[in-house]
Structure 1
Amino acid sequence: MWWFLVGTCYLPVLLVIWSCAAFVISFIIAVLTRHVDPLVPYISDTGTYPPERCIFGLMINLSAFLGLIVMYVRYKLLETLNHRKPTIKPCLNCAALACGALGCFGMCIVANFQETTLRAVHDVGALLSFIMGTAYLVLQSCISIKMLPFYHTRLVCGFRTALATVSVIAIVPMIVCYILTRSPKLHWKPDDPGFGDHVASAVCEWVVAFSFNFFFLTFIREFQGFSVTVRTELLPDPQGESYDRL
């Protein structure tokens, strides 16, 4: 059997591949159509005008949905492991899932509300996505450390902690420099006021986004060790009819 079909590891693999493809494809189309400059645009700038806007919106919405599935499966895995050997508080696991879900919701807002049309809504979605996403990385890193040495190796914990740290460090200048630019324009020149802040903010945004993707790659090995099943149960019919008669 191929390695990516073992257990449920196809979920994080699909999430990372699809998310990276969403960034790269929309970026290439936006640059080729000259809707953005190739020098470090914001991620959402590559999904502002059609045709890349249509592709960006579709792919990011699906990425948010896949991300929510991966986070929920991760939540159920930790819940099961914690029943065997209690190592973390259930509230920590719930908090991580809540932060992840809010981050996915923010991604949907970014995908459907463009910066040039409804900037305030777009910015709220972006902040929600990046801040809650970073919080998810931090909480998952703490969970991994608490579960040492039973379910995680020190190498995995170190890598997750490093990615969470990079995300925390990068998100601060990303937000500050974005506020300092105060301009929603897509084309920048080196002599434009705020050009340096724009480049710094955009670079940090790409760093945070790919930190998320690399973090989900660390789930692959763990997701190979379990499977997820769906159980169907028939509830009593409120009208008193029996399903045996159907």
Structure 2
Amino acid sequence: MSDTGTTPPESGIFGFMINFSAFLGAATMYTRYKIVEKQNQTSYFSTPVFNLVSLVLGLVGCIGMGIVANFQELAVPLVHDGGALLAFVCGVVYTLLQSVISYKSCPQWNSLSTCHVRMAISAVSCAAVVPMIACASLISITKLEWNPKEKDYIYHVVSAICEWTVAFGFIFYFLTFIHDFQSVTLRISTEINDDI
């Protein structure tokens, strides 16, 4: 995936888009956190710490996305790969924890079919992240252009396919929140204290 944004001017566009996506992801995760927190106050279904741990892991994943965006694959491969590992692993764990929360809140706050869809997406992402990491760790050199006859070519292809699978898994997972978000109103309030 990072191969698409390694050289200028694509690297600037790639970095901007990934940073923007990380911001939107963090906003979505925080919104989901607040919704679950409020639902849990209405009818207790899960310990609040479980929801908080999910949020923290999700935000760490978003920080990983920022690292990926700002440290190009060829320029600083170790930092870039560390950010990618954070983004993908924390992101997958986030989806798994949110799927468990969805099942615990069923049927009052989520339909069983929504819970199944979320868990299926999480399972596919989890199944893809393992070979992605394994194959990426077997690649001996980081480069842009590959020849099918090279020894690490198959690892590169499998890793790339799994990487895209997990990335689209995150997108589809967030789309399952649409129904939840339509039924709430969020407000930002400001209070000025006179005693300052």
**What is the TM-score when the length of structure 1 is the normalising length?**
0.79
Q: Is 1:86 matched up with 2:44?
A: yes
> Does the residue aligned with 2:143 lie in a helix, a strand or coil?
coil
Where does structure 1 lack aligned partners over 5 or more consecutive residues?
Answer: 1-42, 239-246
Out of 121, 145, 160, the residue aligned to residue 79 of structure 2 is 121
> What is the rounded CA distance, in whole Å, between the counterparts of 1:178 and 1:59 in structure 2?
23
Taking the aligned partners of 2:186 and 2:105, their CA distance within structure 1 comes to 22
C-alpha distance in structure 1 between counterparts of 2:51 and 2:193, whole Å: 30
Structure 1 position 236 matched with structure 2 position 194: yes
Which of 44, 65, 70 is residue 112 of structure 1 equivalent to? Answer: 70
1:199 matched to which residue of 2? 157
Asked if residue 77 in structure 1 is aligned to residue 35 in structure 2, the reply is yes
Structure 1 CA distance for aligned equivalents of residues 84 and 194 of structure 2: 44
Q: Matched residues in 2 for 1:150 and 1:103: separation? A: 29
For residues 117 and 235 of structure 1, what CA distance do their matches in structure 2 show? 49
> Which residue in 2 is equivalent to 1:160?
118
Q: Please give the TM-score of this superposition, normalised by the length of structure 2.
A: 0.98
Q: What displacement does 1:50 show?
A: 0.8
RMSD: 0.7
Q: C-alpha distance in 1, partners of 2:19/2:107?
A: 36
For residue 124 of structure 2, what is the amino acid of its counterpart? V
Match of 2:59 among 86, 101, 106: 101
Letter in 2 for 1:45: D
In percent, how many aligned pairs have the same letter? Answer: 49
Structure number with larger C-alpha Rg? 1
Bigger relative CO (Cα 8 Å, ≥ 6 apart): 1
Give distance in 2, aligned partners of 1:152 and 1:168: 22
1:187-206 residue CA offsets vs partner (Å, 9 max, x unmatched): 01110111111111110000
Aligned to 1:40: none
Cα distance in 1 for residues equivalent to 2:118 and 2:2 = 26
Deviations 1:85-121 (A, max 9, x none): 0001101100110011000000000000001111111
Q: Which amino acid aligns with 2:132?
A: M
Letter in 2 for 1:158: H
Quote how far apart the aligned CAs of 1:236 are.
3.1
Counterpart in the other structure of 1:9: none
Alignment gaps of 5+ in structure 2:
none
Q: Distance in 1 between matches of 2:55 and 2:87?
A: 13
Of the three residues 141, 147, 158, the one matched with 1:183 is 141
Amino acid in the other structure paired with 1:211 = G
**For residues 134 and 194 of structure 2, what CA distance do their matches in structure 1 show?**
56
